[in-house]
Amino acid sequence: MSQHAESGTLATAPQLITYADRLGGTIAGLHDLLSGPLEGAFGGVHLLPFYRTFDGADAGFDPEDHTCVDARLGTWDDVRALSRDRVVMADVIVNHMSSASAQFQDVLARGDASPYAGMFLTMSTVFPDGATEEDLLGIYRPRPGLPFTALRLGDQRRLVWTTFTEQQIDLDIHHPATWTYLSTVVDRLTGAGVRLLRLDAVGYAGKRAGTDCFLTEDCMRFIRRIRDHARARGAEVLVEVHGHYRQQLEIARSVDHVYDFALPPLVLHALHAGDPVPLHNWLAVRPGNSFTVLDTHDGIGIVDVGPSVLRPGEEGLLTEDQIDKLVEAIHTASGGGSRAATGAAASNLDLYQVNCTFYDALGADDDRYLLARMIQLFVPGTPQIYYVGLLAGRNDLDLLARTGVGRDVNRHRFTAGEITSALRRPLVKSLLAALRFRAAHPAFGGAFTHRTEGTTIELRWQLGEHEAVLSADVATSAFTVEASGPDRLALRSGSAA
């Protein structure tokens, strides 16, 4: 048994994670949903990239202009209006810029004569004296192969650093022009009322020779610099890092928030294997300043619970055998949909993730899915619900077939009619009731304890006379919620039927 207290931050109530174009169509349309049928469920929203352009090579994470709202989605005034009603989180894409950006296009044309030339990393930036095979093979990258793309910059052919795709050109965080650019982005966002800044792929910033180029000391200094700049403007930062769980524990000490990326696979393991012990063990040590997720715009992380080349010789939260069985269980539960979208089966590879909606990862079983969400809502931290997960969406195999991008299986574009239909489903109604309960009940501002026995797990919150308790059997998906006061939640297994 262990205890945690909710930290005093900008964000404690549940948040929605969504693209504006895929839920509501525009920023204003999303605002209408949050103020209409979703009212009371979310105290905040993570507005996934809405910059120009939002529909590039990586669904907005390769913006041509990070300081400009894509006119097809709205304006900065729409962002300000949204931020007046709730806490808004937005992405600061710190590792790279789009190859179509004005800055990189100038470098392509003028090479070293461009004032932006030093912003962009080449292999020789990090290895000015050359690199050995051992140096290059030691670089940590989430996709196969080396992180370089051969391009002609002016009159020279160079190996440009591209961690993710050829359209995403890595930045040199040590160059003054890079800081000017990124601080301008932070100022533009906070000026529009954004109070939570998600540092996307920040672990890959700060490459240095002689390291694996991931979460280096340079990277950590850079994170602290952005954190301080944001805090001076009334904002907080959430650091997005997939890696060995001990790295998450370490980085949590110097930032405002981290993701609990270990939670999704541990919940899936508990429900597929009928084994709550690894989840129970993680609850005893996890950072208190976590954002809890089960699904995001990316895949379900596996490296976050397993052994990792990033920490050789250190065990994970699950064994390799447990992970193998979990991945196969997801593939089976999804009818093979996740297998078609994961690893070498799809482009835009993330070798450490399984691409699947969380609903399909549990075999589209309403009771198991609702229990998974209840566990998420009872775990300390700020719960974030992805828009596909909110509507209990299925794998979008048609979109996957059209794009060949694995993560698109979990990025469905909901029409107005599909949203209306989904909101009528008993499962979605139950989930919204649970979110409103989590947002309103005072017990969640108190002390948290947990215990497990056999296949059962109990998560308890208490603040004075206020109490909320989730009791669940992960082997059968049977659960009950007991709570004090007028904000009781009449929810138990079978409620989604």
Which amino acids are annotated as binding site, given as ranges?
Answer: 58, 96, 198-200, 240, 297-298, 350-353, 407
Number of Cβ within 10 Å of residue 337's Cβ equals 23
Residue 63 to residue 448: CA distance in whole angstroms: 41
Which amino acid belongs to residue 249? L
Residue 415 to residue 251: CA distance in whole angstroms: 39
* Residue 240 backbone dihedrals phi, psi, to 5 degrees: -100, 110
Q: Are strands 456-463 and 466-473 parallel, antiparallel or unpaired?
A: antiparallel
* Residue 314 backbone dihedrals phi, psi, to 5 degrees: -100, 135
Number of Cβ within 10 Å of residue 451's Cβ equals 14
Q: In whole angstroms, what separates CA 359 from the centre of its chain?
A: 17
Token pair listed for 248: 């998450």
**Residue pair 86/43 in contact by the 8 Å Cβ criterion:** yes
**200 is known as an active-site residue:** yes
Residue 124, C-beta contacts closer than 8 angstroms, at least 6 positions apart: 158, 159
Residues belonging to the binding site for substrate are 58, 96, 198-200, 240, 297-298, 350-353, 407
Number of Cβ within 10 Å of residue 245's Cβ equals 25
Using CA atoms, how far residue 197 sits from 79, 171, 193, 194, 495, in Å, is: 14, 18, 11, 7, 36
Asked if the bond preceding 53 is cis, omega within 30° of 0, the reply is yes
Residue 266 to residue 458: CA distance in whole angstroms: 15
**453 is known as an active-site residue:** no
Residue 227 to residue 277: CA distance in whole angstroms: 35
Q: Which of 200, 275, 360, 408 is catalytic?
A: 200
Which amino acid belongs to residue 127? F
Using CA atoms, how far residue 194 sits from 42, 45, 235, 323, in Å, is: 16, 10, 7, 37
Q: Which of 6, 21, 240, 295 is catalytic?
A: 240
**Residue pair 301/353 in contact by the 8 Å Cβ criterion:** yes
Token pair listed for 111: 């090479």
How many residues are listed for the chain in this entry?
497
Tell me if residue 188 falls in helix, strand or coil.
Answer: helix
Residue 233 to residue 456: CA distance in whole angstroms: 45
What amino acid positions are annotated as catalytic residues? Answer: 200, 240
